[in-house]
A and B are shown apart, each in its own frame.
Chain A
């Protein structure tokens, strides 16, 4: 497998993030706040936002010095404060090598160690089988299938909810 590290984003990652993220094959499985097309300016704004928290919520997947994807852990608020949502994407040319699967394992460990949370969840689209496999491989359990909760570019999709609990 191509080796990678997870590290905080830096403003010099603007070009590589914009290059990898400008891809509908990635955007179609994500929230609309991940724009398409994806400009250098979008990358700049995103990096600024991602650099603005301690501990770091969002890390980039660095292959040979270039940021080619991101993985983030987002703690919830109020009565859901012991939960965090996991999200991720990876540049298409690095798919199918187990990179995201290993990144998820690292981020789950990081999340439970650095945030006051007991549960991490993820919400893949129903058609995103690759993402569901990544979660299952990492011990996430499918908790629910919600019908037509997603409205992406004029089309309804079902949402799957996966979670993993902190080991006591």
Chain B
């Protein structure tokens, strides 16, 4: 695996974070959805203004993963407390988004990212990490299972007018 650096994103990282969030989301999901619905979803939920608000939120943290030279290859968004998109258990940490650029995939970066998230959760004294994964994303579900996550609930969400379902999975860390 490329040797990675990971750090907490600050407001100075807004432009780079905006770029990776739109690009990775599009390359992951655009081909699986109605183009009009998808475009509307991107415009509503993935604007730079929305991202800036998320970035300055007290209960959300973006972690950036870069090469040693500083090239951005992956990011994730972590939520705690009431910043979590479901359950809002004060003892849990949600990985709301976890994305890797296509050209860095297949190098074990995802496993490394989960371990960084786990360390962050431990450092905050939390007892489990959880995430929602689209029910049609079978590869991702299998990946999280291999990493010790277990399905515990579901969560519906809207892409345009299309109702989709996320499987919620968690991993006990303490």
Number of B residues with CB within 8 Å of any CB on chain A: 16
Contact A16:B7 (CB < 8 A) given known A24-B12, A40-B116: no
Of A15, A24, A38, A42, the contact of B123 (CB 8 Å cutoff): A15
Please tell me if the beta carbons of A15 and B119 are within 8 angstroms of each other in the complex. Answer: yes
Q: Which residues of A contact B13 (CB under 8 A)?
A: 37
What's the nearest-Cβ distance from chain B to residue A19, in Å? Answer: 5
The answer to whether the Cβ of A39 comes within 8 Å of any Cβ in the partner chain is: yes
* Chain A facing B: main interface SS: helix
The answer to whether the Cβ of A136 comes within 8 Å of any Cβ in the partner chain is: no
Q: Which residues of B contact A19 (CB under 8 A)?
A: 8
Encoded as 1 (CB less than 8 Å from any A CB) or 0, chain B from 38 to 71 comes to: 0000000000000000000000000000100010
A-B contact count (CB 8 A): 36
The answer to whether the Cβ of A14 comes within 8 Å of any Cβ in the partner chain is: yes
The answer to whether the Cβ of A18 comes within 8 Å of any Cβ in the partner chain is: yes
Encoded as 1 (CB less than 8 Å from any A CB) or 0, chain B from 112 to 127 comes to: 0000100110111000
What's the nearest-Cβ distance from chain A to residue B66, in Å? Answer: 8
Number of A residues with CB within 8 Å of any CB on chain B: 15
Encoded as 1 (CB less than 8 Å from any B CB) or 0, chain A from 11 to 40 comes to: 010111011001110000000000001111
Please tell me if the beta carbons of A22 and B119 are within 8 angstroms of each other in the complex. Answer: no
Q: How far is the CA of A79 from the CA of B120 in the complex (A)?
A: 45
Q: Which of B89-129 contact A (CB under 8 A)?
A: 116, 119-120, 122-124
Please tell me if the beta carbons of A23 and B5 are within 8 angstroms of each other in the complex. Answer: no
Of A22, A39, A42, the contact of B10 (CB 8 Å cutoff): A22
Please tell me if the beta carbons of A37 and B120 are within 8 angstroms of each other in the complex. Answer: no
Please tell me if the beta carbons of A22 and B7 are within 8 angstroms of each other in the complex. Answer: yes
Please tell me if the beta carbons of A41 and B123 are within 8 angstroms of each other in the complex. Answer: no
The 10 closest A-B pairs by CB, nearest first: A15-B123, A39-B5, A39-B7, A40-B6, A41-B5, A37-B7, A19-B8, A15-B120, A22-B7, A22-B8
- Give me the interface of B with A, judged by CB distance under 8 Å: 4-8, 10, 12-13, 66, 70, 116, 119-120, 122-124
